[in-house]
Chains A and B, each alone.
Chain A
Amino acid sequence: MSNYEKNIHRWGKISGILAILMFTSFPLFFSIYFDAWPNFMDVLQGLLGIVPIFYTVGIIEAFTYAPMLGAGGSYLSFVTGNITALKAPCAINAMQFAKAEPGTAEGEVISTLAIGISSIVTTIILFLGMILLAQLTPILESEILAPAFANILPALFGGLAVVFISKNWKIAVGPTLLMIIIFIIKPSLAGAVSVLVPVGALFAILLSRFLYKKNLL
């Protein structure tokens, strides 16, 4: 076993715990510095409003994305955020280019490297965005550019779909049709798409298991 494989979980655990402490430090130091401790019941009530949905989504995301992104990629992306619309597609793109399969030693390092670089670039762009916010706001919020940013997910997943449907069309057609039907029947689910990711994954796994057992894959 390499030095990397031996240590990755230790690095992940230590950096994850430190990240949780660092994230908590912002409201903590805020409360101390401004002498503005929140009312416990207000925080609890606020949390009760979001935790049932967002903790469920977070748990689902952890179990769905962790196998795809590998150890290093998962430890990093769950700290740096924006997994669905940025880190996971970025890692997929890099693994496709390198012809590395997820779950292999090569896939693991490529995914981690892609997510690491993506996180660094995001941090730099957001820093520049914050500094230049006054100048950027009229451009980014202009009516001309609004459709481009409103359609970033279709633009992203159109390209990704070609890669995966062409690779595994037998597995892909069923879940895609199922999801299209679900969203046409219940359009309001668009706001909770993360919850439907495991539904699609479970359906894809069951379908591919059936096809595999019938020697159709």
Chain B
Amino acid sequence: MFNVNHPALFWMAGIVILYVLGQSVFFSYKAYKRALELGIERKKLFSIMKGSAVFTIAPAIAIIIGMITLSRFLGLALPWLRLSVVGALTYELPAATTAASVLGISLSEPISLAKAFSVIAWVMTLGSFSGIVIVTFFFPKIEKGLVKIKSKDEKWGNIFMDSLFIGMISAFLGMIFSGVTSGLKGFIPIFVMLFSACLMMIFGYFVKKKNIGWLSNYAMPLSMLGAMIFSIPLSSWIGG
């Protein structure tokens, strides 16, 4: 019987993850060197690196929960690979479920057939290539379009960039309101978002009015963590 946690699978996954880790180190090193050339202080760059590392901790722990979910039927190696590299649980779970439904197998227990595992691994892999293919082959064209917008009118170019960011943020802010019709429970995400926003404003006050500069680097991760912690008593009070 096929074992979803066969040691060979960990080797196969580990080699791919090592490659991606190497790529991250390479790009970080090149960006760091270029930042120094641009005159950005070493101290500031270390603050950015520390801030980015702290920012990553909570979302990365949330990804482990995704790994636990997928590991129930796929074992550990494939979810470890998929969530360490290109994927996110929002894609990997539907991809695995769709492939399993084609085969007519249940995902309530570890997959015991190597052929079934193979179909799922191929579908998860090939189904996730669109973004990476577009960026790898067409990024210079996207960049050229932006340069054109900016060179015509720089002020409008900056507003255009801000509009893109706002578009992304507005979609997620809207999503937070998707549960309001389900009663008070549906308001929990809204209260959590407002709490995070309040924390951000308080930190902003200390950064700007009290000149605590280092805090600006950690304001966002601290607001996020504070709001996540706040959601625990809030959910138990409201009954989420």
Contact = CB atoms under 8 A, between A and B. Distances in A.
Contacts of A162: 197, 200-201, 204
A47 B53 CA distance: 35
B164 A205 contact: yes
Contact of B61 (A94, A137, A140, A198): A140
Interface in B43-95: 44-45, 47-49, 51-53, 55-65, 67-68, 71, 76, 78, 80-81, 83-88, 91, 94-95
B159 A212 contact: yes
Interface string A48-76: 01110011111101111111100110111
- Which 7 pairs show the lowest CB-CB distances between chains A and B? A201-B167, A179-B174, A158-B196, A16-B136, A116-B28, A58-B130, A58-B131
A161 B130 contact: no
Given A158-B223, A159-B219, 14 more contacts: A13-B136, A29-B12, A31-B122, A38-B115, A46-B120, A64-B167, A72-B30, A85-B88, A115-B27, A116-B28, A120-B24, A123-B21, A154-B176, A204-B163
Q: Looking at chain B, what size class is its interface with the partner chain?
A: 35 or more
A101 B155 CA distance: 12
Nearest to B223: A159
Given A89-B220, A90-B56, A205-B164, A119 B24 contact: yes
Contacts of A46: 95, 98-99, 102, 119-120, 122-123, 127
Contacts of A11: 26-27, 30
A123 B226 CA distance: 24
A121 to B, nearest CB: 4
A217 B136 CA distance: 35
Given A109-B38, A151-B189, A205-B163, A49 B91 contact: no
A121 B54 CA distance: 9
B193 to A, nearest CB: 4
